[in-house]
């Protein structure tokens, strides 16, 4: 398993659990707002090649966290691009840790296996935009049928999950958000994550703005009739 980064403690990313986060390299999207561009862009990844965390070192670390952490969040990049993801998750579980997986939903075949074998306790899937604007916002070609398939698999699974969107004032208009609300209709949980101007993949995105605090609640209300729980970050 390729591990490019680790955050040794998070109290926020795995709901109601203490966890560490590992980051896998590479992604098939190029979202301009991506905060992890050093884990996504091949030209930046090159700088990390010699700093990859060996799997053995990660499991040695995990051994020291027994009784201290509940679980492991696997994030990226896009973790489902890793060929040995399933075997890796099984190893984590064998050590007694719970697993949360972050995914952009482009690989339903892998998600189906993970769900069928009950290998994770939680999945967070990004919904980047309404169907019409998807390709533009992810900066790449999208097989939207796969996004739909992943949505259906996750909503039909007996596990906790959330769909989530990083929202940018100039891009995520009320109409776009209504399109997303329609797409996730019936979901258990949906998170709106306000865009932060920090390290972004496409520097043009530094010209975009986040929503003001007072603007967020009306946006959350767009989702009230579609999903059971809406969270605003
Ligand atoms: S935001 Fe997620 S899906 Fe988009 S490029 Fe970054 S890692 Fe990939």
> Quick check: CB of 34 below 6 Å from ligand 1?
yes
The answer, yes or no, to whether any atom of ligand 1 lies below 6 A from the CB of 71, is no
Rounded to the nearest angstrom, the distance between the alpha carbon of 77 and the centre of ligand 1 is 6
Give the mean pLDDT of 188-216. 94
Cα(115)–Cα(159) distance, integer angstroms: 8
Model pLDDT for residues 76-115, shown as the tens digit of each residue: 999 999 999 999 999 999 999 999 999 999 999 999 999 9
Q: Which fold has domain 5-232?
A: TIM Barrel (3.20.20)
pTM for this structure?
0.96
Sheet-wide strand order for 189-194: 5-10, 19-23, 71-75, 98-103, 122-126, 160-167, 189-194, 229-232
Q: Using a 6 Å cutoff on CB, does residue 91 contact ligand 1?
A: no
CA 31 to centroid of ligand 1, rounded, Å: 5
Whole-number pLDDT of residue 198 = 85
Check if the beta carbon of residue 155 is closer than 8 Å to that of residue 187. yes
So where are the chain's domains? 5-232
Q: How far is the CA of 198 from the centre of ligand 1 (A)?
A: 15
CB burial readout 59-87, b (16+ within 10 A) else e: eeebeebeeebbbbbbbbbbbbbbeebee
DSSP 157: S
Ligand 1 centroid vs 128 CA: distance in angstroms? 9
Residue 50: pLDDT over 90: no
DSSP character for 232?
Answer: E
């Amino acid at each position: 398993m390729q591990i490019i980064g680790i955050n040794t403690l998070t109290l926020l990313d795995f709901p109601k659990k203490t966890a560490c986060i590992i980051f896998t390299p590479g992604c098939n999207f190029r979202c301009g707002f991506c905060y992890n561009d050093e884990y996504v862009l091949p030209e930046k990844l090159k700088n990390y090649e010699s700093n990859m965390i060996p799997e053995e070192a990660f499991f040695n670390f995990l051994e020291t966290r027994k009784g201290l952490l509940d679980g492991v969040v696997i994030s990226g990049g896009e973790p489902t691009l890793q060929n040995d993801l399933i075997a890796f998750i099984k190893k984590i579980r064998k050590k007694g840790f719970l697993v949360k997986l972050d995914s952009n939903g482009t690989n339903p075949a892998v998600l189906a296996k993970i769900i069928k074998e009950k290998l994770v306790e939680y999945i967070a899937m990004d919904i980047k935009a309404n169907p019409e604007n998807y390709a533009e916002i992810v900066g790449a070609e999208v097989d939207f049928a796969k996004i739909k398939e992943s949505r259906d698999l996750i909503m039909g699974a007996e596990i906790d999950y959330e769909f989530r969107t990083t929202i940018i004032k100039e891009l995520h208009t009320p109409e776009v958000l209504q399109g997303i609300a329609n797409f996730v209709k019936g979901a258990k949980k949906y998170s709106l994550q306000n865009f932060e101007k920090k390290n972004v993949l496409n520097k043009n995105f530094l010209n975009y703005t986040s929503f003001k605090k007072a603007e967020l609640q009306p946006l959350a209300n767009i989702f009230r009739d579609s999903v059971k729980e809406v969270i605003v970050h």
